[in-house]
Each structure stands twice: as structure tokens, then as C-alpha cells.
Structure 1
Amino acid sequence: MIREKISLSIHEMTVVAMMVAIIAVLGAVPGIPLGFIPVPIILQNMGIMIAGELLGPRLGTIAVWLFLFLVVLGLPLLSGGRGGMVTILGPTGGYIFAWLFVPLLIGLSLKLSWYYGMTQGVTEFLIVWLWGVIFVEGVGAIWLANQLHTTLIAALTSNILFVFGDTIKALIVVSITRRLRHIKAFSLRR
């Protein structure tokens, strides 16, 4: 019984592997350092949002956990070719930790909105924005304040620039996934 719940079909394994690869490829794009904060602007967080929106809570979470497991093992899959526990425990660790929950939160929120018939793009964007941007920036700011021995207000203030950029990324993610969801390979909605 337990094995049945854990096992994935070949199709599901393939989709999860593809998502891990997409997140890794987005990490190949170098981050843009800002100078006043040790956290660069990256595209990789788009892959995390796509995982939750396109694969749903279960498979999206599996994909992100697998990706981060490979990072913990030392593979240089994060933006700028970083990897290993040092990266996870550094200033960007809070953002990365938040990524573990983003697909689950986005996926469950989307399922709930679809259940109640809210299928508009605006609703979808607000869900992705809430969990993929605001939640991640909030957790990241808490971690960053602790790492830099500064106030939470200072860390949140330094994240304002990221919120604007990540809002644009969330719009792009929603636009892409609403189109991809119509392809049979991605019509999982689980």
C-alpha cells in the first residue's frame, strides 16, 4: 500500500526529470549581483514557480526536492555554478529553503481555486505571486537578517527590488504555463 503511494509512473518520472533539468538550465544563466545585498537577481526561481503551477503539488514538490538534493550533494546547479551545503547555509539559504514549499503551496492553492471555478489568469497570477514571490522573499529576508546580523526591516527593505523583478517573472510563468497546460504531456493537474 505504501509503495503504491510513493511510486511514480514512467510518465511522471519523465516530467519530474524534465522539470529538474529546466530548473538547472535556468541556473546556468548568471545572476546579476546588486552590490548592496549578497543575493543576486536570478532566473532560477521561475523554474520553481513553474514546477508548482505545471506539475501540481505532488510532482512539483518532488522535482524541487530532487533538484535541491542534487545541490546539497555538491552539484553546481544553482545560479553562478554554485552548489553544496555552504551555499544552502549562506545568505541565500532562506530563499532556497522557501523553494522547498513553493510547488506545494502553489499547486494546492491552484487546485482549490479550480475546485471553486476560479480559472482566470488573474487568480492564477495572484497565487503564483503570493507563494512564489512574497512567501519566498519573506522567508529569504528572515534568513538574510539572521545571516547579516541586521534587522528584519532592513532585510525586507533590501528585498523590495527583488519583488518588482519577481513579479514580472511570475507574470511570465503564468503566461507560459497557461499555454503549456494544454499539451497532453503536461496536463497532470495533480
Structure 2
Amino acid sequence: MSDFNLNEVIINAQKGNKECLGQLINYYDGYIKKFIKLFNLTAVQEEEVYNSAIIGLMTALDNFNVSRGLKLNTYATGFIKKEIVEFIKKELLPSNFKIFDEKANKEITFMSLDAEIDMDNSSIPMLVKNTVGIEDSVEDKIFIDELLSPFAEKEWIKDIYFNGSTVKQIAEEKKVSKSFIYRKKREIFDYIRKEVAVNDYAILN
């Protein structure tokens, strides 16, 4: 978006400017479509779920504060994923749908699909690097460091999601079990969600 300031467009879209909202949707169109492809849907299903992803982006926009220094797409990812998963569960899967996870040796029902669908670690840095306008910034890295500061394992998470390391590699390097790392990931992400929500509420009010 070389012709205008992205933060100004975000602020104007938050104020109800439909033209700016349209520009934002066009700007993040590539990111959203790449994100949708991570769910392994058919071409028709991808088109059907696209509007739900846009709703996720708009919901994030309503709660976003540019003064935090975080990029909108980074903040919006959780909102977009939630809307996509809800659409898949309600519109694309039958109520009795089950899949068998051979690795976990258990059946997964559609009700727990949102907990099971996750981006492959190697897809995340590629998704970020290949999408225009969402490269890492110094502000993002500082923000992430601040959020992860209470956790001794923060470097593990950064290695997994920003350096492309796998859980298996980290487990072998640190001599811990993979299940321990998965537990720490869940603990850290739950903390981040709560922290971001609390801080944004404090700023907006």
C-alpha cells in the first residue's frame, strides 16, 4: 500500500469508512486466502468459507488498536480461524462426523475440530514471508518478547513459530518430551490471548 498510510486506513475503516474497509479487505485478501488453504478444503469450500474469514477480520478490526504496534493480520489470525472453524463445523461437516487420528489413537468429533485444526509449524513463517505487507517488524518482535517474558520456555516457542523448528527438534535438543512442549504451548497461548484482550480493553477504555 504505497499510496497511503496503512494505519490511517485502519483507523478510518474503524470509523465506518466503507471505502477504507474495502481497501483493507483487498490488502489482506492474499493473506486470508493463504490461511484458508491450510484447512485443506475443496475450491468450492474455500469460496464458501471466505466470507466467514472476512467476518473474522472485521471482528478483529473492531477490537484492534494501532497504538500497540502489532500488525492487524497478526492480531486478526485467531479471529479469522475461529470464524472458519465455526463455518466448517456448522456448514461443511455432518453432525455425526468423526475422523480417526492414528497418531493420537483416538476419534475426533467435529465438536473438537477447532482444537485439532492447527497450522503446521513450517507453514507459518512461509505464510508470513510470502504475503505482501506482513513482514516481521522490530515492534512486533519487541511486543512478542514482552508477552513471552514470564515464561522460561519463550525461546522454544519463538524457534517453533519464527525459525521453523519442529516440536520434535526442540524436544530432542532440550531433552524433554513432546507432550511437555505441547502443554507449554497451550499454556503460553492461553496467556497471550488473555493478555492481549486485557491490554486492548485498557487502552480503548
TM-score by length of structure 1 reads 0.32
Rg: which structure is higher?
2
